[in-house]
Each structure stands twice: as C-alpha cells, then as structure tokens.
Structure 1
Amino acid sequence: MKSLYSLSFFTLFFLFHGRGNAQSTMPDSAVLKKIMHIAEQTANRFVPDKRTAIFEWQPADGSYHIQTTETEAKAYFLQQIADNHISNAKVTINLLPDSSVASYVTGIVNLSVANLRTAPRNQAELATQVLLGTKVDLLQKKDGYYRVRTPEGYIAWTSASSVTPVSASALQQWQRSKKVIFTADFGHSYSAPDEQSLRVSDLAMGNILTWDGIAGDFVKVQYPDGRQAYIRSGLVRPFDEWLGSRHPTAENVLHTAKSMMGLPYLWGGTSVKGVDCSGFTKTAYYMNGIIIPRDASQQVLAGQPIDILTADTLDVTKALSNLRPADLLFFASGKGRTPDARITHVALYLGNGEFIHSAGTVRINSMLSDAPNYSDFETRTLVAARRYIDQADPALQPISQHSAYISQTAD
C-alpha cells in the first residue's frame, strides 16, 4: 500500500514561483527561502508521517497559508518566524479541525464501505476504506468531501454522503446504545422483515448498526443517518457479545484470513469487497478485536521483531525456526535486502514456510523454493517479520478500549 503524501514544499515553491502574476507581490527571495526552510523543519519535526498528521504550506499572492492538525507544530512555526525576525510576510495558520465542520468534529460512517481518497474528488487515488458504523474525526469540509481521521489515525478524504456528522451527545448516545455487528461476508438490509421487500443497502463483514428490536427471524436496525431496516438475525451478533468473544489468537486470526481466500486485490481496499496487502492483514486482525496500523510500512514498525535474516539475506532455516503462525512478513521491492529497505508488501505467516497474502487475489504461497506454490522473491523480497499476538504495543489497539467504538465517559 503506497504512502499518502502531500505536495512537497519544494514543489509548492516552484508552482508559486512560476506564476507570472505573482512576481510583483512575492517577498524577497531570502525571506521566502527562510520561510520555506522553517516550514520544512516544522513538518519534519512534528509530522514525520504525512498519512497520520498534516502540515501543509501553500503560498499564494505574497501570503503563506498553512494548515495543520498539530497544535505544537503551529506554535513552533510561529515561534521560529518570530525568532528569525520575519515581519514582512503575511502568514495565516489554519488548525484542523477548522470552522468548515462547524461544531461537528465527529462523524459515523453510514455506507457499508466508505471510500477514502487522497484528495477531495472522485478521480483521486483510493487511499483506504472505513466500515459502516465506524466513528471518524471530521477535520475539514471542502467541495462536498470531508477530510477525516480513521480509528488507526489515517487521514484522507471521503464524500460527505458517506458520513453522518454527530454532536458530542449524539456520539455518546450511539456508543452506549445496543448494537449489532454483521458477521457474514456479504448481505443486505431490507425495508421490512421480508427479503422480498425493498432493499435499504448492502452490508459487508464488520458493519455495525444500532439494534432496534426483533421482528420474527429479523433484527430491526438503525443506521447512523436514521434509516431503519431489517436484517436476517443469523447474519448478525450483538456487538458487545461479539466483542467479548474476540480472542486474537493465531488460530483465530488465520481463520479469518483464510475466510478471505480468493478475494480480489484492490488498491486501498480494507473490506471483503476487495483488499490490498495491508488491508488484508488489517481486516484479519480487526475481526479478532485488534486495530493495527493501516499500511505495510507502518505495520512493520509495530509488534516484536522476529529474526529471519543472516547477513541481510533471508535465512530459511532460521525463519522456519523463529516464525510462528500469524506473524507478519514484510517484503521490499527490488533485490536488495538492506535493513532500511522500503516495505511494499505484507503477508501473514501460516507455518511450514507458507504464508497467506493479497497479491492479485488472496492466496497462499511458500518461501520454500521446492514447494509448488513458491513465490518469486526476486521481485518481492522478504526483509522483516513482526509478531503481534500477545504483544503490548500502543500501535496495536484493542477495539474494546478504543474511543471510536466504546464510550470513554463514565455512566
């Protein structure tokens, strides 16, 4: 899964410098260079990962507009401007969430799968997905899109129709309400307790709705946007009951992973409608009660490192000895196995040299060269492994303790 990045400060500089009608209002080049340096310094210090925090700089007609999610970054930038005695530049800083979302800084996803994109337009690259019933932070609204932050911290844009903004009291009420989770792979909700009635929406594994009663073989539910519907009772479980039954053992994680065999690869996908490599591992752990980082390059930083290399080269004997089922395997592009190699792929280890991953489809391959399902490591090189099972790591967050799903306010 590719990282989500903003335009670099140098790109923004040259875009601005090249505007013919801006030359007369552009500040002295030394001042511009100094401001650019301070902006880059601030971003590097407070926003090391642009997928989970924002510090964007946009010069326009002699002024400098900055927006950021980081209060400390704003304070640091302004202090640096003052310390460098820069007084002839007009700088405005927009701290997110901003006034475009008014007082509604929280939303709940109301589609079975909401698509999040790298920019506020339909043609933009798919960055990730979020499931129905998931709370997101609303940071900004623009051109019919919300910029949101997901429970794992990922920031991207989704259509305003995908999310229902809620007040603090409405969020608390939703979190405390009795809910159900859809546990089948796919399904539908209906306008009446009858599968011949008009459909209300499609449903996907992991969707969460408010429970509103029972009607025969159906459960009556309510969507975040207030729609009411009926779902076959055998396709859902009470959310609290489901959450209490989550035991993120290797066996359970791999059972979920194998249930996704054959799903198509989808860049940015994190649902049973299609998954990319890290969306696949994320879903396997999520359905067992654990929220993990979104991208492979983030996932490789979590959990316990497992030694599988000798002299920066895969040592199959060592790997077979040290790896356990449900460990995550990380691959880098190219042939080099350097310690700082760029991670581009991730898989779940099954045992006996085999792993399951999303590559074209969700499938099983082997690291053993004589196996019939051997995967070609010339183009997808195994460089690292991490263990998530039974690891205490702030990056591995239990759903049962996460504010996106559970009320943090005492009753």
Structure 2
Amino acid sequence: MNTEISLESIIPIRKDSFHSSEMVSQILYGEAFQILGDSKEWLYIRTIFDNYEGWISNNQNFISKDLISTINPHVSSDLICYIKDVNNHYKQPVFMGSTIYFQDIEAKRFMINGVEYCFEGNVLNAGLNQKDNLLELLHSLLNIPYLWGGCSISGIDCSGFSQLIYKFLGIKLFRDASLQVNQGNLVCCLDDSQFGDLAFFDNENGRITHVGILLDKNRIIHASGRVKISYIDEKGIISDTNNKYSHKLKTIKRIF
C-alpha cells in the first residue's frame, strides 16, 4: 500500500464522504497517509502518525512518499510560516506542527517534483525530545480558537491540542481524548501531578470528553472555546466566567 505525503497547508478529514459531513481531524503539510479506498470524489484514508481514518476530497494536493526524500524530518515550530518556490517566489503558508523534509538543513531547502523550495521559518528536530521548549510552546498557542476536529492554529480541539504539543516531545498520542486516556501511567491524584501530565475529564455517562495539559497542581492549559489557562482542583476545571465547574476530573496520566 502506497504512502502519500500531503502538500496542502491543511486537509480536512471528514466522517463521511460529503463536504457538509463532520470534520473529525486534519492532515497538516508534510504528514503521511495511506489510501484505503475511494468513492466518487472522495478517498478513504488512514493517517500514519496516529492511524486515524476518514474521508478526504480527491482534489487535494499530495505526492507519493517514494518520490521525495523523507529521511530528515523536522517539525515547524512557528505558529505560521511559509515555504517558497525559489524560482517563481510562490509562497504557501504552513502551520505549527507541519513536517518539512530537508535535503539541505542549513539552507532550509528541499525538492519536490524537481522544484526547489525554501522554508521561511523555524523548526525542531522531529526525532528529539523538546521538553525544555514545552512551556514556551504551550504559551504560544494561547487564544487559538476552538474548532471541533481541528489540530492547527486555524482552530484546534482539546485532543488535537495535546497531540500537537506532545508531537514536539517526540511522543505519539492518539487523536481522540477517549483513546489518549489509555496511554501513559496513572497518577493517583492532583497533588502527585507534575508539569506536562495529561488530565482527563468525563461526562455524566463516564465517557472521556475532554483533555488538558497540567501546568502545575492548580492550573491547566486546554482548548475550550479557545486555548486558555484555567484553575483546577480535585473535582475539575473551574470556569473563568461563573466560577463553577465546567469539566469533571476523571483521571491523570503521565506520558513522559
């Protein structure tokens, strides 16, 4: 089965094969996926990073992994930056978390289909743990709007936020909070938590519906309305609008 590399800034992944269907996730520039099937104008795909399946429009721009060098992956660390065709100076925006495969890392250049591109931005090595940069990365995403199914700075959901941040740590999280909760080691209580732990929250039926990243024993950064910092205690997240509990704490997991 061939692996494809996205050349679009963002490709929406939909639950069903029509444009008004719910967006369940996104593919960022440079991310890999496999085509499992098709239906008229749609392709059924599975992402390589997190094995997420869904439908994308078949008019998206992508290229076979076999046609480009993917041995030197780096992750874009700027909120937004650009890749530029060095011949005609055409620019394309790419967002934080996108994957760039450099042939010349010092010059930040790479080739696609015989065309040379220059990357205008900053990157982190995708294979290295970036714990020292974690707090800066978290703060850089403050006030990004909430978007169901989003995992980019144009809009992001709670599990897309945690997944994106942990991507910079060299750790693969599943796409949905209900699956992320099965990863890592259990932390018995909030008092034993530490910076970077994931806190999960459930609904009245016990289903995990929300996740955030603990900054300390009293504060959490999460995507709810927007990416923001909220106060938390053993019961849950305290709303910054009415001082009531907005999310009920279920469990805490340590991933690194």
Question: TM-score band, normalised by the shorter chain?
Answer: 0.7 to 0.9
Kindly tell me: are residues 243 and 375 of structure 1, through their superposed partners in 2, closer, same or farther at Cα, counting changes over 3 Å?
A: farther
Structure exhibiting the larger radius of gyration computed from Cα positions = 1
Kindly tell me: are residues 329 and 372 of structure 1, through their superposed partners in 2, closer, same or farther at Cα, counting changes over 3 Å?
A: closer
Kindly indicate which of the two structures has a greater share of residues assigned to strand: 2
> Given that residues 116 and 156 in structure 1 are in contact (C-alpha distance below 8 angstroms), is that contact kept between their aligned partners in structure 2?
yes
2:174 partner letter: P
1:118 aligns with 2:18: no
Deviation readout 1:114-144 (Å, 9 max, x if unpaired): 2111112211110101221111121012222
Secondary structure, in 3 states, of the residue corresponding to 1:382?
strand
The higher-RCO structure (CA 8 Å, 6+ apart) is 2
Kindly tell me: are residues 276 and 122 of structure 1, through their superposed partners in 2, closer, same or farther at Cα, counting changes over 3 Å?
A: same
- Who is 2:81 aligned against? 187
> Given that residues 30 and 98 in structure 2 are in contact (C-alpha distance below 8 angstroms), is that contact kept between their aligned partners in structure 1?
yes
Deviation at 1:286, TM superposition (A): 0.5
TM-score scaled to structure 1, two decimals? Answer: 0.55
For structure 1, list consecutive stretches of 5 or more residues without a partner in the other structure: 1-103, 309-318, 390-411
What is the 5 A alignment of 1:62-211?
A: 105-150=2-47, 151-166=49-64, 170=66, 174-176=69-71, 178=72, 180-192=74-86, 198-211=89-102
Deviation at 1:297, TM superposition (A): 0.5
- Who is 1:247 aligned against? 129
> Given that residues 115 and 126 in structure 1 are in contact (C-alpha distance below 8 angstroms), is that contact kept between their aligned partners in structure 2?
yes
For 1:123 and 1:205, how far apart are their aligned partners in 2? 26
Deviation readout 1:326-374 (Å, 9 max, x if unpaired): 111111224x7xxxx11111111111311000011100011259x8958
For 2:73 and 2:52, how far apart are their aligned partners in 1? 25
Secondary structure, in 3 states, of the residue corresponding to 2:126?
helix
Deviation at 1:260, TM superposition (A): 0.6
Kindly tell me: are residues 198 and 222 of structure 1, through their superposed partners in 2, closer, same or farther at Cα, counting changes over 3 Å?
A: same
> Given that residues 8 and 28 in structure 2 are in contact (C-alpha distance below 8 angstroms), is that contact kept between their aligned partners in structure 1?
yes
Kindly tell me: are residues 278 and 222 of structure 1, through their superposed partners in 2, closer, same or farther at Cα, counting changes over 3 Å?
A: same
Deviation at 1:228, TM superposition (A): 3.9
Deviation readout 1:369-402 (Å, 9 max, x if unpaired): 9x8958632x42111111101xxxxxxxxxxxxx
Deviation readout 1:257-311 (Å, 9 max, x if unpaired): 2221110001001112211000000011012211111111111111111223xxx
Secondary structure, in 3 states, of the residue corresponding to 2:196?
coil
TM-score scaled to structure 2, two decimals? Answer: 0.85
- From 78, 103, 109, give the equivalent of 1:220: 109
Secondary structure, in 3 states, of the residue corresponding to 2:147?
coil
1:325 aligns with 2:195: yes
For 1:202 and 1:144, how far apart are their aligned partners in 2? 25
Deviation readout 1:238-259 (Å, 9 max, x if unpaired): x7xx135x2253x543432222
> Given that residues 252 and 288 in structure 1 are in contact (C-alpha distance below 8 angstroms), is that contact kept between their aligned partners in structure 2?
no
For 1:304 and 1:388, how far apart are their aligned partners in 2? 6
What is the 5 A alignment of 1:286-325?
A: 286-308=167-189, 319=190, 321-325=191-195
- Who is 2:252 aligned against? 385
1:349 partner letter: L
Kindly tell me: are residues 279 and 219 of structure 1, through their superposed partners in 2, closer, same or farther at Cα, counting changes over 3 Å?
A: same
Kindly tell me: are residues 105 and 219 of structure 1, through their superposed partners in 2, closer, same or farther at Cα, counting changes over 3 Å?
A: closer
Deviation at 1:227, TM superposition (A): 5.1
Kindly tell me: are residues 191 and 297 of structure 1, through their superposed partners in 2, closer, same or farther at Cα, counting changes over 3 Å?
A: same
Deviation at 1:163, TM superposition (A): 4.9
For 1:162 and 1:264, how far apart are their aligned partners in 2? 25
- Who is 1:275 aligned against? 156
2:4 partner letter: G
Deviation readout 1:195-232 (Å, 9 max, x if unpaired): xx653311112222343559xx9643334x66543333
- Who is 2:228 aligned against? 363
Kindly tell me: are residues 212 and 105 of structure 1, through their superposed partners in 2, closer, same or farther at Cα, counting changes over 3 Å?
A: closer
2:192 partner letter: N
Identical-pair percentage: 25
Kindly indicate which of the two structures has a greater share of residues assigned to helix: 1
> Given that residues 366 and 375 in structure 1 are in contact (C-alpha distance below 8 angstroms), is that contact kept between their aligned partners in structure 2?
no
Deviation at 1:146, TM superposition (A): 1.6
Kindly tell me: are residues 155 and 163 of structure 1, through their superposed partners in 2, closer, same or farther at Cα, counting changes over 3 Å?
A: farther
Q: Kindly report structure 1 stretches of 4+ aligned residues shifted beyond 6 Å.
A: none
